[in-house]
Amino acid sequence: MYNFRFSVPTTIYFGKGQISHLSELADFGSKVLLVYGGGSIKRNGIYDTALKILEDAGVTVTELSGVEPNPRIETVRRGVELCKEQKLDMVLAIGGGSAIDCAKVVAAGAMYDGDAWDLVLDPSKIKKALPIFSVLTLAATGSEMDCFAVISDMTKNEKWGTGADVLKPTMSVLDPTYTFSVSRKQTAAGTADMMSHTFENYFTKEPGCDVQARFAEGLLKTMIKYGPVALEDPENYDARANLMWAASHAINGLIANGSQPAWCVHPMEHELSAFYDITHGQGLAILTPAWMDFVLQKDPSTAANFAEYGRNVWGISETEDEKAAREAIAKTRTFLFETMGLPENLCAVGIDSEEHFEVMAEKAAKGSVGCFVPLTKEDIVKIYKAAF
């Protein structure tokens, strides 16, 4: 296990009615930028509730609305301008990962002299940020408790993740009832995303990280138990609560620190989103089993890892690693595509040609250096083709 520093300074208020704690924003200033997406927060009433609490606390609100799923740099720039022009004190995102990610880079951009895209391309330029707050409405990305933000420039087909300690939210409100209105599609995609975060951290060649591995298996079992429940019974509180809390821990450093894995399925998916603007979790679901098949074949020593996953997460009793590994991958495939109803291949999300595979693979290969099984550009093209 490598040395590491674990620091999550985000205060979490978890549970029904915890939005009342937005009144604490008054301790950080009197002017907030409220960042949200296409209007789901107005339809489910969270917007009105938040505005009333902020008003009562004496905090005035400037709005940045219309943040896109796969948030765009143009929207970030609008937010930075508002913060600078109006000398705003802090940012509050209400929504899923897209609203939160956008708010994070706005918060950093407000304290940076150049263009906000610099901060996406080069995380070392993120030195300061306005205080960041979030009210999470979709369990998936873990952005509510992590240091990352993912922003796209669709004019260049670029989507990159950036990250810095100062991007960790000061406070996040996690009220599972706010996710009752999440659609089947986004519930399934969110579950695939949090599972992928767990896989990216769990599949590592670093020995001796038992605590991290057992936490990861617990998270996966929770996601596998409750994803289907949330799909069939969207207002099941325990299902929504467990998914929400599991998603936060899949990416906040708890299961990554010590083994320091580089991620590889995410860089491949980010290229799909950058070129085709697809839903992140759907792209991950499509790529994950194809990636598992590929790395098991490329590096047979990974059979031990996949077999351990199969036995500890799926209860597979097969004693031969190679067979147990194949069973585990088959279980994963069935869960994602049949139980959760996620799209099975790239054609199913509207990607009907292989024309960009080479250039996407070249970029993804750069982003996944040091991962579980190193992948070349040619390997990634093969994975895209297998998923096609």
Which residues between 282 and 341 bind ligand NZQ (CB under 6 A)? none
Interacting positions 347-376 with Zn ion (CB under 5 A)? none
Residue nearer to ligand NZQ on the CB measure, 37 or 227: 37
Q: Please say which residue, 256 or 303, places its beta carbon nearer to ligand NZQ.
A: 256
Residues numbered 240 to 259 that lie near ligand NZQ (CB under 6 A) are 251
Rounded to whole angstroms, the Cα distance separating 180 from 237 reads: 8
**Contact partner at residue 373 from Zn ion, ligand NZQ, none, CB < 5 to 8 Å by partner kind:** none
How many CB atoms are located within 10 Å of the residue 131 CB?
A: 18
d(CA 68, CA 37): 6
Q: Which residue, 196 or 222, is less far from ligand NZQ as judged by CB?
A: 196
SS3 sequence of 85-123: HCCCCEEEEEECHHHHHHHHHHHHHCCCCCCHHHHHHCH
Residues 21-40 contacting ligand NZQ, CB under 6 A: 37-40
The site partner of 175 among Zn ion, ligand NZQ, none (C-beta below 5 to 8 Å per kind) is: none
From first CA to last CA, the distance across the chain in angstroms is: 37
Positions in 156-215 near ligand NZQ (CB under 6 A)? 178-179, 181-182, 186, 190, 193
Q: Which residues from 82-111 bind ligand NZQ, rule CB under 6 A?
A: 95-99, 101
Say which entry of ligand NZQ, Zn ion, none residue 215 contacts (CB below 5 to 8 A, set by partner kind): none
CB 263 within 8 A of CB 334: no
**CB-wise, 167 or 313, nearer to ligand NZQ?**
167
Cα 291 from chain centroid?
Answer: 18
Asked if 132 and 170 touch (Cβ cutoff 8 Å), the reply is yes
In the list 75, 141, 259, 288, the residue contacting ligand NZQ (rule: CB under 6 A) is 141
Based on the shown chain and the rule CB under 6 A, indicate whether residue 132 belongs to the binding site for ligand NZQ.
no
| 188 contact choice in ligand NZQ, Zn ion, none (CB below 5 to 8 Å, kind-dependent) | none
Residue 179 or 305: the one with the smaller Cβ distance to ligand NZQ is 179
Alpha-carbon distance of 376 to 362, in angstroms, equals 8
Phi/psi of residue 87, nearest 5 degrees: 50, 55
Q: Which of 89, 193, 200, 327 binds Zn ion (CB under 5 A)?
A: 193
**Separation of alpha carbons 343 and 284, rounded Å:** 10
Query: What is the C-alpha to C-alpha distance for residues 191 and 145, in angstroms, rounded to an integer?
Result: 17
Per the listing, tokens 């097969």 go with 318
Residue 142 binding: pick among ligand NZQ, Zn ion, none (C-beta 5-8 Å cut-off by kind): ligand NZQ
DSSP string, 175-207: -GGGGTT--HHHHHHHHHHHHHHHHHHHS---T
CA-CA distance, 45 to 234, in Å (whole number)?
A: 17
Binding site for Zn ion (CB under 5 A): 193
Binding site for ligand NZQ (CB under 6 A): 37-41, 44, 69-70, 95-99, 101, 137-138, 140-143, 146, 148-150, 178-179, 181-182, 186, 190, 193, 251, 266, 280-281
